Chains A and B, each alone.
Chain A
């Protein structure tokens, strides 16, 4: 394949400069509204504080506590546990459903309808969506009523709602969608002729999925994984509501600090969180460099 850098260009602007110019608006937004505030957060994390005030005095205890306490370890273990479980469910599930939509459905119309149906709940107001779990999973909710009606249980299951289980249920509901979307996008790029050729050569469906489709869908799954990772690591709304404020994760802990107007520990925890997530993303990109894909 040809690379655009080697092709003769008649544009008056050198390609690299063109790229820099094109990315400038986005870079400016991030610089002014993310990097600068991030700098503020970084400074704040080293300062002394009390009662919604931050004093301009160096106070390292915050970082010592964040980096050495059992609390931090417990928070990350809990958050990673959620991440691993949710990823292990949403990635195969998203891949399977995307595969079904891309290669099994014959009707374009039906495919469009299903994709829409999967996307819709994503677009309903977050707080309302959270509230709507209660009539389903609550002690008097539909699920408990059904199970009791069927004689399967004698008394309502308490752990369906306001528990780690409930948090997982909400995560999987929300985060399968980006996995499906990104996988589906990658699958749509695969020319049907490639699949046809493999089939003609006698490859089984499983072989085709494993040897042709999966490698080509990897960058899509990588983007999906980035979305899932950032969503879970940074989540404060779902875990708070579904966990009944009783499950402490990294995000939850930051929100508890902020709700008590303790800015420096929230700042230090946010920066640590950022470093952890960026490391995860860097290693993911080693697995599938999505930017390199663009330039091939």
Chain B
């Protein structure tokens, strides 16, 4: 279809997509612009001059309305990395289980849905309470990661459903017929096909962990995570430092996504070369 003239629907849909992107980015644009607010300016228009003052404040690590952002950032990244790895491993194995019917499949699926639905603060409160009743101390590594998994795993599982939906079991059967062992099948047949989705799960785990507060806040123990710190800052004299954080976050996530997309396209290329060969 690549050589044919563009139909009318192309232009209509292109217009719709453009309008949608403008809609999505309008508030983001306000955020980006306001992060360059002058040193005297506040968190809304008008702009009182232009400056990189708020970025400097952010990097220097001191000034009004900054709180403990650098420390919180480190803690969040550490937490997000651990959560992402666990989400990846647990979701992929669980997702593979769903290629067959098995007893308890419904129970686990609905537990995942329940985990998504329950108000986050309640799940967080329940976990903190349970730790308290058991006499355990909350800690980012135990209850912190655990609380975050209740949020990231359901998404991981749903993504696996989408990914495996694309996976044709005939590939795996062919491998079985050729005498491949379970680990060989996973390594050489399943993994290359689901790899882009697997990276997607890791990314989703990373970002939703970085974002989560409702479940996390009662369970990380000492030391705030990034969104907790930002919410705390909003309660007092907030400054455009918050917008500077937002702009930087966008830049970082943009780079991360681009990076993972590049990796995925490389993998896809390699795979298509292999299948074509």
Instruction: Give me the interface of A with B, judged by CB distance under 8 Å.
Output: 1-5, 7-11, 13, 15-16, 18-23, 25-27, 29-38, 40-41, 93, 96-97, 99-101, 104, 106, 108, 112, 114, 116-129, 131-136, 138, 140-142, 173, 176, 182, 185-186, 188-189, 196, 199, 205, 219-220, 223, 226-227, 230, 233-234, 236, 251, 254-255, 258, 263, 266-267, 270, 273-274, 277-278, 281, 290-291, 293-295
Residues of B within 8 A of A122 (CB): 207
Residues of B within 8 A of A278 (CB): 110, 113-114, 117
Contact at B94–A26, with CB atoms within 8 Å? yes
Contact at A127–B105, with CB atoms within 8 Å? no
The digit string for B106-148, where 1 denotes a CB below 8 A from any CB of A, is 0111111111111111110111011000000000000000110
B66 at the interface (CB under 8 A from A): no
Contact at A33–B146, with CB atoms within 8 Å? yes
Contact at B13–A20, with CB atoms within 8 Å? no
Contact at A26–B90, with CB atoms within 8 Å? yes
Nearest Cβ on chain B to A144's Cβ, whole angstroms: 11
A-B CB contact pairs (8 Å), 11 listed: A16-B101, A23-B97, A29-B149, A30-B108, A114-B17, A124-B249, A124-B253, A129-B27, A223-B162, A255-B119, A258-B125
Instruction: Give me the interface of B with A, judged by CB distance under 8 Å.
Output: 1-2, 6-7, 9-10, 13-14, 16-17, 20-21, 23-28, 30-31, 34, 43-45, 89-91, 93-94, 96-105, 107-123, 125-127, 129-130, 146-147, 149-150, 153, 157-158, 161-166, 169-170, 172-173, 176-177, 179, 181-182, 207, 211, 213-214, 226-227, 230-231, 234, 242-243, 245-246, 249-250, 253-254, 257-258, 261, 265
Contact at B30–A97, with CB atoms within 8 Å? no
Residues of B within 8 A of A123 (CB): 207, 211, 249-250, 253, 257
Residue of A nearest to B31 (CB): A132
Contact at A136–B27, with CB atoms within 8 Å? yes
Contact at B109–A8, with CB atoms within 8 Å? no
Contact at B111–A30, with CB atoms within 8 Å? yes
Residue of A nearest to B233 (CB): A127
Closest 8 CB pairs of A and B: A37-B126, A22-B97, A19-B102, A100-B13, A132-B31, A19-B97, A26-B94, A30-B111
